[in-house]
A and B are shown apart, each in its own frame.
Chain A
């Protein structure tokens, strides 16, 4: 993945139908691993691309992921999606533990790291080896942001996630707290952890949510500078956000958008009504 994609070839996992891939412009790549890496894993040939989307809760990540996946597949890429807490190993354990409030900050952080490691080794790395584009709904930056907001030693969290592969592209869906709270209230309502209720930040769920999410947004801004996120304004319509995300990815992949342009986007925005689309 640190080298240009090979020219074409369905053998490495891409969908058949044309050869939309061109060699990417070599860029000054960051080291493969965030820290110590996985010494026992031989990652000689990661020809895929790891693209991650960060953003706070209700920033619209999953809707956008769906649109990106469709579009990338039309372009001929094999796409694998992965998301925070979705590992086979941990998703159930995390939900049980969250419901019971029996976690402290350290065990909470560790359980997310297990989920992450499980997906990294069993999903993400194999997919990158097979030449897929991996779309990750949140990545380790979510853990770093939470650590910073919750006062958990960040040096420890960074060392903990030292086994992680650094993404090729981080897209940050930036939505302000005022927009977020409206979306949340129109959706499933304020959730305990999303409002940082365990931190006693405000008298009621609204105050707590606003205080917690505002802090998270500040932290994401800091991380954005440190790790070079590509920022996309998430306060706009689904359509406009999707356009921007595609533009970023197109630029990154050095891709000429030959198929699946505007038409696909319109198809996509006719999807489920969310109350905040165009």
Chain B
């Protein structure tokens, strides 16, 4: 019998360094923290320095897209099915995209990682232990950056940028408040609490995301430079 894939015991892989020649760099933070801007700038810099990169984004695999869309539209999703759908998306990207790129020695840049689930899904009400066990197959990142920002700053950025706050982003399904901005504040506030707890638990590196974009980017590049020092240019 082929044993193509033997999963580790729950909560083992995220604490063990991965064996691959590539590097995994991930960014975390609430919506409007500016992490996507920062990872895009980091990718430009890495390219300019001759690294080969692969970029992947939360909730982007085709495998679960239709179910995810239907569930959201029909409001069928519970905190558990919401969490499991994202885990499926994550597993699909991990095994077909992330791990192959790491094996090929590339720099993988991930906009959100398992920690997003640990923050969001727990804020939605699932058990913290359960969701950590669920993602125990995840590869541990080499660099995990947490863009920490007060909820009002991120809310202001979103309002300026695209005016409309998405239903799930505001946690409207939790019925915390009828007012979308108030709901966003409460829901994202819970997520910040979870992230703050993960700083020590998983060794996330905190970036003060209320600073200027270029100041933050300088800090990001310093951290990446240190992590990539012993990596040969691809």
Task: State the A residues within 8 Å of B (CB).
Answer: 35-40, 88-90, 92-93, 96-97, 102-107, 110-111, 113-114, 117-118, 121-122, 151-153, 155-156, 159-160, 162-163, 199-201
What are 21 contact pairs spanning A and B, CB under 8 A? A38-B80, A39-B125, A40-B79, A89-B77, A93-B63, A103-B63, A104-B5, A104-B91, A106-B5, A106-B137, A107-B91, A107-B92, A114-B84, A114-B88, A122-B76, A152-B7, A156-B137, A159-B130, A162-B127, A163-B127, A199-B1
Q: Is the CB–CB distance between B95 and A104 below 8 Å?
A: yes
Q: Is the CB–CB distance between B9 and A106 below 8 Å?
A: no
B94 (CB) vs chain A CBs: closest residue = A106
Residue B120 CB within 8 A of the other chain: no
Bound Cα distance A31, B91 (Å): 30
List B contacts of A151 (CB < 8 A). 1, 3-6
Q: List 9 tightest A-B contacts by C-beta distance, closest first.
A: A40-B125, A153-B7, A159-B133, A36-B127, A36-B130, A151-B3, A93-B67, A110-B88, A114-B84
Give the most central of A35, A37, A117: most B CB within 10 Å.
A117
With A106-B137, A107-B91 already in contact, the answer to whether A117 and B5 are too (CB < 8 A) is: no
Q: Is the CB–CB distance between B2 and A160 below 8 Å?
A: no
CB of B5, distance to nearest CB on chain A (Å) = 5
With A37-B127, A97-B63 already in contact, the answer to whether A106 and B81 are too (CB < 8 A) is: no
Contact for B64 among A35, A40, A93, A201, CB less than 8 A? A93
List A contacts of B92 (CB < 8 A). 104, 107
With A114-B85, A118-B78 already in contact, the answer to whether A106 and B7 are too (CB < 8 A) is: yes
Which secondary structure dominates chain B's binding surface? Answer: helix
A37 (CB) vs chain B CBs: closest residue = B127
Residue B71 CB within 8 A of the other chain: yes
Residue B136 CB within 8 A of the other chain: yes
Bound Cα distance A165, B87 (Å): 21
CB of B69, distance to nearest CB on chain A (Å) = 11
Bound Cα distance A113, B64 (Å): 13
Q: Is the CB–CB distance between A156 and B4 below 8 Å?
A: no
List B contacts of A160 (CB < 8 A). 133-134
B71 (CB) vs chain A CBs: closest residue = A89
Q: Is the CB–CB distance between A110 and B84 below 8 Å?
A: yes
List A contacts of B124 (CB < 8 A). 40
Q: Is the CB–CB distance between A201 and B1 below 8 Å?
A: yes
